[in-house]
Structure 1
Amino acid sequence: MPYKDLREFLRRIEKEGELARIREEVSPILEITEITDRVCKMPKGGKALLFERVKGYSIPVLTNMLGSEKRVKLALGYENLEDIGWKLYKLLRPEIPHTFLDKLKKLPELKKLNDALPKVVKDGPIREVVRREKIDVLEFPILQCWPEDGGRYITFGQVITKDPESGIRNVGLYRVQVLSPTELALHWQIHKDGNHHYWKAKRLKKKLEVAIAIGGDPVLSYVASAPLPPEVDEYLFAGLIREEGVELIKGITVDLEYPAHAEIVIEGYVDPEEPLVDEGPFGDHTGFYTPVDKYPKMHITAILHRRDPIYVATIVGKPPQEDKYIGWATERIFLPLIKFNLPEVVDYHLPAEGCFHNFCFVSIKKRYPGHAFKVAYALLGLGLMSLTKHVVVFDEDINVHDFGEVLWAWGNNVDPSRDVQILKGPIDVLDHSTNEVGFGGKMIIDATTKWKEEGYTRQWPKVIEMSEEVKKRIDAIWDKLNL
């Protein structure tokens, strides 16, 4: 059964020994970050942290909510996250029934999809407190995470907009800087759907309504980060995961819907006719500060919250952080879609140490000369995979999640003069290594076994393996060796 709200999830993870309550008074300025950063770097990601005494506030702060494989699985409700990917595949690639019998067989799938649709309700806990006057977003313990940050940042908000032309909803996970009690700066990067909506609104000379939801079922926080195609509503995706539609409620001052069981919602708008504002610096998931740049300003028109809200934040910085496990979930969930487009792919890995976009290790069933390059080119054409900087392709027997195996095969199988291609293309705007923001070099490395058709003129050596006969003999006496 899905979680009704954040509190239900907290009760579950506390029962599982995955929640630590911090009763010492700590400041939202830097101190919560320092504690969370130390915990995130513990083996397996440490516990979720509920700071019950935040200096200057009566509202508790939750961090590291999804910062372990166990909590991600508990939040999403699946032991094997690839099962979610196959559900998404069925949504994006529905089979067309050709006969009446086929249509009847499709009815259970259609019912599941109908059950997953968001449901608009008339009332919900989010409306327990509604404020349209004397608005001050700093009534919440919004964190300043790092010493040189440009201010306080909302880091785990579900930023909701609608396409000004199609009306399709987008829910994105974008950092939001507090400029004043009633104004925010939205970090809508050029490759993200929020930015696309902004530029459409600017072209149409329309204000763009925005809602920022914090909390609710943890699935909602996850789907805001998922790299879904623009035509897929994130809350529909959440319904597919939950196998039950998300309850949404209409905004008070905006024509948007948001989770009825959220902890906090901030309503407002962006006026594209206004000049962009300075946003940053911000200590980001790359482990470096991103510099000041120009982004849209949001005007707050209303704030809603539960009577006793819990403020949810995530900390980013030098990996590993909570996003290691959020990124791991995305990697596993989207593997089925990659396999559908590229059946030769066995597995792939986007290591957190590479900030997810710096490296993609992929193993394939190689069938013809140049196959590794074909797969790499295809991956660089898939959604946000287009921002990947280094793609390294391995044979199917290499475990791409094992850095030892990866470096062994990479080091032994690659002749840089033959097996490396340098390309140019779009790059994550947070990447500081390129001369231009969002555009730079890429590297494809073929670390597979080389064939003579690929120009290899020698005899490729065999990998050292013990014979199965000897292995079995040693297996039979292993326990007697007391090793």
Structure 2
Amino acid sequence: MGYKNTRECLDALEARGELVRIDASVDANVEIGAIQRRVFQAGGPALLFNHVKGCRFPMAANIFGTRDRMHFIFRDTIDMVERLMKLKMNPMELLKRPWKYIGAPLTGYNTMPKRVSSGPIMENETSVSSLPQLVSWPMDGGGYVTLPQVYTEEPDNPGFAGSNMGMYRVQLSGNDYVPDEEIGLHYQIHRGIGHHHAQALHKGEPLKVNVFVGGPPAMTLAAVMPLPEGLAEIFFAGAMAGHRISMVKRDGGLPVPAQADFCICGTIVEGVQKPEGPFGDHLGYYSLAHDFPVLKVDKVYHRDDAIWPFTTVGRPPQEDTMFGQFIHELTADLVPSVFAGVHEVHAVDAAGVHPLLLAVGSERYVPYAEERQPQELLTNALGLLGNTQTSLSKYVLIAAREDMASGSSCHDIPGFFRHMLERVDLTRDLHFITRTTIDTLDYSGISLNQGSKLIFAAAGSVKRELGTELPSGIDLPRGFRDPQVFAPGILVIKGPKHRRKRDQQDPALDRIGDMLNTVRGIEKFPMIVVADDAGFTARDWDNFLWVAFTRSDPATDIYGVGGFTHAKHWGADKAIVVDARLKTYHAPPLDPDPEVEKRVDALGAKGGPLYGII
């Protein structure tokens, strides 16, 4: 059976040698987050901080910090949940291999929450200001909950079946929030809580919200699980936990997990928004302060032995990367049943997840054609942009399975880029969607939540040989220099500092396209990226993906070598030029505090609690 609460889980990790207790006094303001990130990067253990300055509650981090640890925590249930997901894809499996699903009825039973009259969570009350005030990065606007389970129920259909539980950012302090009375609730577009909030606004009533922290680890996983709309996360939590989730029903309020460590109960009041942020986010930049709903706090509960689980985010990979990988393992076989014609997807973590989606689809619309071209692939790509969390993708690169070598995959990023660049017809296969919604955390667009998307499709035979050596005779406009080959078919060039306003193209990029059009052999490099630091960008694939796709908006920042527009279709004869410089309107990248890093170094020195770990 799975773990019922945080302490059970940590005790098991400690018995396995995968938890280190930190008895030194640490500061929740920047220091503790820096420790967690360093230990994660080192592949280190879970951490239990027993003495947090100014707070009586211990804090735990890096609980989900390795793939092996994720599998250990959910070892009792992962196989059955994977089988049940495959069963949804192919119900005939139950008839063919019934012995594999012997535990299926019990798993189904566990999905149903169990109503109880009381539980450990109801033992104590406290205040928001008494909770750990985690500040992950130097410019963060205040203390945050970073592993919250934000629970709401549909006003029109209350109850577990109409519930939503998501991991939405919660700001506990700072800015204009009234201490202990108000907290900030940041939820991005395309989130289930938004539907509940809209219903409450339509009915003219406040929306009840509970924020759970800790409890069964399966609840944390469920809060980040991209489930189809209408499937309650709390049901999935029971399946992953291996037991029914006990829920305490409060009079007039939403239910509370009996085994949670903390719960903040409150309501979103109509017409009240306040600035939330800044916050160092998982794209590797600060998300800036913007108006978001305010949660009016009613009660704050905690159990006797409460532990505050947390993580910090930043430029990938971070601990949340482990959630993404684990979710991919659970759901990979479901992709064809959710997206007809799509065989594989890869939301690229190094590029911040939503900015870049790689996919493999079928191209069967005209099987008798002499030369395959993207047709069904475009239907596939539009399906990806119209459903679930893949709808937030900014760049969708999709290839035909019929053209891919046996065993090849879009998870082989260098190989997939090579495949795409060899086959794409730049005059035909680039399809822009402009003035549309994009991820709230992506500042490359023309305004908050608004920018563009690009479908980059490739099918058919090889159309070009990709260059691996710098073409001779490259002449660049003033301010552009240091051209270098990053990978076959990809050039990186250093550009001058960006000085244009938002929603404006830069004529200097048109000029570089015109000048490169005269360079012999430039057609062997169909992708050219202009960056602030060519050496950094071309150092490795992680750097390249992060710079190229988090710092560009397709419609604004793609130019052409031989670019043209015909009947509202844009294409390029020889290459695309991606302006991946930091823009004047971008949020700043995350930079660590040198003094804090020195304190972390001391913990890793000989005799320190992290010696031999970091």
TM range (shorter): 0.7 to 0.9
1:423-450 per-residue CA deviation (whole Å, 9 max, x = no partner) reads 2342111110000322321112224443
1:136 aligns with 2:135: no
Matched, 1:15 2:15: yes
Q: Please say if residues 335 and 344 of structure 2, whose CA atoms lie closer than 8 Å, have aligned partners that are also in contact.
A: no
**Structure 2 CA distance, aligned partners of 1:92 and 1:199?**
32
Contact 1:88/1:237, CA 8 A, preserved across alignment: no
1:72 to 70, 80, 92: 70
Which region of structure 1 is more displaced relative to structure 2, 118-127 or 85-94?
85-94
Q: CA deviation at 1:9?
A: 1.3
Structure 2 unaligned residues grouped into runs of 5+: 95-100, 466-614
Question: Structure 1's 108 and 311: CA in aligned 2 closer, same or farther, altered over 3 A?
Answer: closer
Deviation sequence 1:95-117 (CA, Å, 0-9, x none): 9x9xxxxxxxx998566423321
Task: Please name the residue that 1:284 is paired with.
Answer: 281
SS of 1:54's partner is: coil
Instruction: From the superposition, tell whether residues 67 and 107 of structure 1 become closer, same or farther in structure 2 (CA, over 3 Å).
Output: closer
Query: Residue 466 of structure 1 aligns with which residue?
Result: none
Are 1:348 and 1:360, in contact at CA under 8 Å, matched by a contact in 2? yes
Specify which of 152, 157, 161 is matched with residue 161 of structure 1: 152
Partner of 2:519: none
Structure 2 partner of 1:29: 29
C-alpha offsets along residues 257-305 of structure 1, whole Å, 9 cap, x if unaligned?
Answer: 1211111111111211x42111111111111111111111112111111
Q: Deviations along 1:204-263, whole A, 9 cap, x unmatched?
A: 1112111111111111001111122331111111122234321111136x5211211111
Distance in 2 between residues matched to 1:412 and 1:80, nearest whole Å = 39
Aligned residue identity for 2:255: E
**2:345 maps to amino acid:** Y
> What residue ranges of structure 1 are gaps of 5+ in the alignment?
98-105, 460-483
Partner of 1:229: 228
For 1:150, which of 138, 141, 150 is the aligned residue? 141
Q: CA RMSD in A?
A: 2.8
Question: Structure 1 residue 149: deviation in Å?
Answer: 1.1
Partner of 1:174: 168
SS of corresponding position for 1:334:
helix
- Whether the 8 Å CA contact 1:64–1:315 is kept in 2: the answer is no
Matching residue of 1:450: 461
List aligned pairs for 1:233-272, cutoff 5 A: 233-251=232-250, 254-272=252-270
- Is the Cα–Cα contact under 8 Å of residues 335 and 343 in structure 2 kept in the other structure? no
Look up the SS of the partner of 1:276 in the other structure. Answer: strand
Q: CA deviation at 1:16?
A: 3.0
Q: Is the Cα–Cα contact under 8 Å of residues 152 and 208 in structure 2 kept in the other structure?
A: yes
| CA positional deviation for 1:125 | 1.3
* Amino acid in the other structure paired with 2:53: K
Q: Which amino acid aligns with 2:256?
A: Y
Match of 2:428 in 1: 418
SS of residue paired to 2:272: coil
Cα pair 2:209 2:267 within 8 Å, conserved: yes
Question: Structure 1 length as normaliser, TM-score?
Answer: 0.83
Partner Cα separation in structure 2 for residue 70 and residue 449 of structure 1? 40
Distance 2:115 2:40 in 1: 37
Is the CA contact (8 Å cut-off) linking 2:312 and 2:319 kept in structure 1?
Answer: yes
C-alpha separation in 2, matches of 1:426 and 1:76: 36
Name the CA shift for 1:17/1:108 in 2 (closer, same or farther; >3 Å).
Answer: closer
Runs of 4+ in 1 over 6 A off after TM superposition: 78-81, 91-95
- CA distance in structure 2 between the aligned counterparts of 1:91 and 1:153, rounded to whole angstroms: 38
Partner of 2:115: 120
The corresponding residue for 1:478 is none
1:399 to 404, 409, 434: 409
Counterparts of 2:242 and 2:55 in 1: how far apart (Å)? 37
Give 2:379's match in structure 1, choosing from 370, 374, 377: 374
Comparing 152-161 with 399-408, greater Cα deviation is found at 399-408
Q: Write the mapping of 1:178-327 to structure 2, written as runs, cut at 5 A.
A: 178=172, 179=177, 180-251=179-250, 254-272=252-270, 274-327=271-324
- Conservation of the 8 A alpha-carbon contact between 1:85 and 1:335: no
**TM-score normalised over the length of structure 2:** 0.66
Q: CA deviation at 1:29?
A: 0.4
- Paired with 1:139 and 1:401, the residues of 2 have a C-alpha distance of 44
When residues 126 and 92 of structure 1 are mapped into structure 2, their CA distance, relative to the original with a 3 A threshold, is farther
Tell me by how many angstroms 1:79 deviates.
Answer: 9.0
- SS of the equivalent of 1:206 reads coil
Q: Could you tell me how far apart the structure 1 residues matched to 2:223 and 2:90 are?
A: 22
Q: Give, in angstroms, the shift of residue 27 of structure 1.
A: 0.2
- Name the counterpart of 2:46: 48
Which residue does 1:353 correspond to in 2? 350
Structure 2: how far apart are the matches of 1:312 and 1:181? 20
Distance 1:203 1:417, change over 3 A: same
Report the counterpart of residue 475 of structure 2 in structure 1: none
- Report how many aligned residue pairs link the two structures: 437
* Aligned CA distance change for structure 1 residues 89 and 212 (closer, same or farther; 3 Å): farther
Q: Deviations over 1:384-411 (max 9, x none)?
A: 2111111112344422222232233233
Task: Please tell me whether the aligned partners of residues 357 and 387 of structure 1 are also in contact (alpha carbons under 8 angstroms).
Answer: yes
**What is the deviation of 1:381?**
1.7
> 1:401 & 1:18 partners in 2: Cα distance?
29
Greater relative contact order (CA < 8 Å, ≥ 6 in sequence): 1
Residues 243 and 276 of structure 1: CA distance in aligned 2, closer, same or farther (over 3 Å): same
Show CA shifts across 1:164-198 (max 9, x none).
11121111111111232221111122321212212
Decide whether aligned partners of structure 1 residues 79 and 443 sit closer, same or farther in structure 2, where only a CA change above 3 A counts.
farther
The code of the aligned residue for 1:407 comes to F
Letter in 2 for 1:338: V
Counterpart secondary structure, 1:58: coil
- 8 Å contact 1:86–1:337 — kept in the other structure? no
- Greater mean alpha carbon deviation, residues 163-172 or residues 115-124: 115-124
Aligned counterparts of 2:170 and 2:308: Cα–Cα separation in 1: 14
Contact 2:216 2:241 in 1 (8 A): no
Equivalent-residue separation in structure 1 for 2:184 and 2:156 (angstroms): 23
Fraction of identical pairs, as percent: 32
Q: Which amino acid aligns with 1:68?
A: T
In structure 2, relative to structure 1, the CA distance for the partners of 1:193 and 1:342 (3 Å cut) is closer
Q: Secondary structure at the match of 2:383?
A: helix
SS in structure 1 opposite 2:198? helix
Q: Which moves more between the two structures, 393-402 or 304-313? A: 393-402
> Which amino acid in the other structure matches residue 6 of structure 1?
T
For 1:86 and 1:376, how far apart are their aligned partners in 2?
Answer: 27
- Deviations 1:315-360 (Å, cap 9, x if unpaired)? 0111111111112222332323322134644332112112111111
Question: Shift in Å at residue 146 of structure 1?
Answer: 1.1
